[in-house]
């Protein structure tokens, strides 16, 4: 993940300029964030926060906070965390790896993972989902968002990026099969309760087909 970290460090400030104001026009995503917030609220009432894992510049973190959730942002890139702290004073952000989360078991009521798994291969995703299952309490919730395809990228293909916004980067973007990701979540102990696939929103975001999976951690709630 060193190359991923260095790549996002390089583009952090430009990335924030490009994406931080996109949520008002992403209606489907906001509807699912609202559903996640409502579902996670019971565990949050017991004193547990939710996490925005792969938070980037913190715009989703701030949106979850505006929905009334106690939330913390985590990102692999120190550069992204610096930008998130700059742009969202008063919210908590820290550096952390999705495959080795810096929290004890059962620390979170839920987690949103927006486009953070796209740089992971199958083994990396299994490790990430196992970590989410460890960090999220039984009956807690996760919302996983990812790219599915593009006009020139079919499901299951990979795109290498070496230049991004005039910066040298070393990134592989994986276009993922929603059924495969759902199976991987199931294997980690989550039950997918809702699966949404959508077209790209014109003039708002990169032109990729996307999927959002809302899943519940299996098990028995404490107490």
| Residue 223 located in a structural domain | no
pLDDT at 219: 87
Domain membership flag for residue 81: yes
The residue range of the domain holding 75 is 2-217
What is the rounded distance in angstroms from the CA atom of residue 169 to the CA atom of residue 58?
Answer: 21
Q: Is residue 222 part of a domain?
A: no
Q: Say yes or no to pLDDT of 67 above 60.
A: yes
Q: Tell whether 99 is covered by a domain.
A: yes
Task: Specify if 40 maps to a domain.
Answer: yes
Domain-embedded: residue 58: yes
Q: How many structural domains does the chain have?
A: 1
Res. 183: pLDDT tops 70: yes
Looking at the predicted structure, is the pLDDT value of residue 28 above 80? yes
Once rounded to an integer, what is the mean pLDDT over residues 118-135? Answer: 97
Q: What's the CATH code of the domain at 163?
A: 3.40.50.150
Specify the pTM: 0.95
Domain assignment of residue 84, yes or no: yes
């Amino acid at each position: 993940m060193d190359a991923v970290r260095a790549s996002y460090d390089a583009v952090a400030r430009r990335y924030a300029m490009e994406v931080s104001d996109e949520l008002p026009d992403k209606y489907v995503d906001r509807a699912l964030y609202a559903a996640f917030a409502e579902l996670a609220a019971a565990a949050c009432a017991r004193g547990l926060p939710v996490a925005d894992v792969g938070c980037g510049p913190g715009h989703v973190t701030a949106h979850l906070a505006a929905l009334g959730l106690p939330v913390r942002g985590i990102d692999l890139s120190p550069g992204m965390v610096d930008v998130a702290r700059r742009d969202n004073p008063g919210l908590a952000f820290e550096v952390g790896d999705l495959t080795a989360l810096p929290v004890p078991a059962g620390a979170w009521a839920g987690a949103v993972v927006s486009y953070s798994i796209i740089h992971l291969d199958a083994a990396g995703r299994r490790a990430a989902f196992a970590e989410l299952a460890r960090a999220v309490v039984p009956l807690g919730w996760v919302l996983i968002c990812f790219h599915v395809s593009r006009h020139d990228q079919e499901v299951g293909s990979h795109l290498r990026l070496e230049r991004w916004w005039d910066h040298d980067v070393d990134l592989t973007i994986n276009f993922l099969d929603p059924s495969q990701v759902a199976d991987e979540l199931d294997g980690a102990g989550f039950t997918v309760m809702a699966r949404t696939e959508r077209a790209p929103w014109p003039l708002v975001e990169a032109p990729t087909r996307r999927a959002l999976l809302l899943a519940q951690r299996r098990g028995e709630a404490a107490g």
